[in-house]
């Protein structure tokens, strides 16, 4: 089951990750929230991160 977060307005978002390789050869992971569960949905928040909510109600990941 994918990790979900419901904001103060009652909208549910699902946490996703997308891993890319940069032109220098390093691996970079992009974490994002989406309203629809897609490929790349994560089961839990990555270690060292916590979920916060912006003033507009959008969820974001912050380093703990």
- pLDDT tens-digit series, residues 2-60: 999 999 999 999 999 999 999 999 999 999 999 999 999 999 999 999 999 999 999 99
Q: Encode pLDDT of 50-59 as tens digits.
A: 999 999 999 9
Domain span including residue 11 = 4-63
**Separation between Cα atoms, residue 48 and residue 64, nearest integer Å:** 5
Query: Which of 64, 6, 1 has its CA nearest to residue 33?
Result: 6
- pTM greater than the 0.75 cutoff: yes
**Residue 59 CB coordination number (10 Å):** 19
- Total domain count, the chain: 1
**Separation between Cα atoms, residue 33 and residue 50, nearest integer Å:** 13
pLDDT at position 1, please?
87
């Amino acid at each position: 089951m994918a990790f979900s977060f419901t904001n103060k307005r009652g909208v549910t978002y699902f946490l996703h990750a997308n891993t890319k390789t940069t032109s220098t050869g390093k691996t970079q992971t992009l974490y994002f929230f989406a309203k629809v569960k897609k490929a790349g949905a994560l089961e839990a928040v990555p270690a060292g991160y916590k979920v916060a909510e912006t003033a507009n109600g959008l969820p974001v990941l912050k380093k703990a």
